[in-house]
Amino acid sequence: MTPTDTTDGAATRPPVVLSIAGSDPSGGAGIQADLKTFSALGAYGCAAITALTAQSTRGVTGVHVVPPEFVTAQVRTLVDDVALDSVKIGMLADAAIVEAVGELLGDRLGAPAVLDPVMVATSGDRLLDEDAVAAMRELVPRAAVITPNLHEAAVLLGTEVAADVAAMERQACQLVERLGARRVLLKGGHATGEDAVDVWFDGDRVELLRAPRVDTRNTHGTGCTLSSAVAALFPQRASWLEAARDAKDYLTGALRAADGLGIGAGNGPVHHFHDVWGRA
């Protein structure tokens, strides 16, 4: 669906997107990045929080996990009242929450989900223990699209990190053929090369989504932002691939404008409102 235009003063209903993810107090990643992305792209954002983090642009110093039954309560209470058009799933913290969200996908949500399988940081640091990774593999076929980074794809497949685009293409296909993913957007933005290349595979066709690499250290939240952009744009586009292409373009613009924010002393956030601020 697309936002409804009216001329008689009646309320309009934009696409409604739910983020199920962790909180980032610095505002660059997690729930905060998702809600900013939804708003920037014309969608109304809702959120169910899976974990609180003590975090800044310099790193994470602590994580407080929400009990899985309360994650379920947040979502069920919401969907009893609010109809959803799509869902973005981010940090799920532990195996119990992964399993709870899997049950929600099969039971209550009633909207297609974009799963960002937050398991491994771009530095290579593991963010989930092995039992949670096993649960994540079971969640993969329930999502409409999964958006792993290179390290996460390798963990899901139990293989080495892809070293080039050809290896990325193979792993995107393996995620569909071996794990049952329906569609894959394999994020390669942190690999080397003049272009930032992501690989799309939907079971039928492989597409390379390319954009010029942006020279900035302010990349905090890029993965969260890309996946939430896909979720926000899908109700407004003709296909998942079109949503993924436009999400890639949006993220590239947010990266180009990131140095203008000056947030924090570490790796700062992308500029989610790069195409909105300054218009007023």
- CATH number, residue 132: 3.40.1190.20
CA 88 – CA 31 distance, rounded (Å): 10
Residue 235 lies in a domain: yes
List, by residue number, the catalytic residues: 187, 219, 221-224
Q: Which residue type does 146 have?
A: I
Pairing of strands 184-186, 195-201: antiparallel
* Mean pLDDT rounded to a whole number for the chain: 92
157-178 tens-digit pLDDT: 999 999 999 999 999 999 999 9
19-31 tens-digit pLDDT: 999 999 999 999 9
- Looking at residue 193, its pLDDT comes to 76
Structure-model confidence comparison of residues 145 and 2, the more confident one:
145
Mean pLDDT of 68-88: 97
Residue 266 lies in a domain: no
Residue 6 lies in a domain: no
240-276 tens-digit pLDDT: 999 999 999 999 999 999 999 999 999 999 999 999 9
Bridge partners of 260, per DSSP, are none
177-214 tens-digit pLDDT: 999 999 999 999 777 678 999 999 999 999 999 999 99
Structure-model confidence comparison of residues 7 and 69, the more confident one:
69
Q: Could you tell me the pLDDT band of residue 106, with boundaries at 50, 70 and 90?
A: confident
Residue 251 lies in a domain: yes
Residue 56 lies in a domain: yes
Mean pLDDT of 87-99: 96
Bridge partners of 21, per DSSP, are 49
Domain count, the chain: 1
46-65 tens-digit pLDDT: 999 999 999 999 988 899 99
- Looking at residue 192, its pLDDT comes to 66
Residue span of the structural domain in which 59 resides: 16-260
- Looking at residue 6, its pLDDT comes to 47
- Looking at residue 262, its pLDDT comes to 94
Residue 2 lies in a domain: no
pTM of the predicted protein model: 0.94
Q: Do 277 and 248 contact (CB within 8 A), yes or no? A: no
CA distances from 223 to 34, 70, 154 (A): 10, 25, 16
Q: Which of 184, 180, 131 is nearest to 162 (CA)?
A: 184
Work out the number of other CB atoms within 10 angstroms of the CB of residue 42.
14
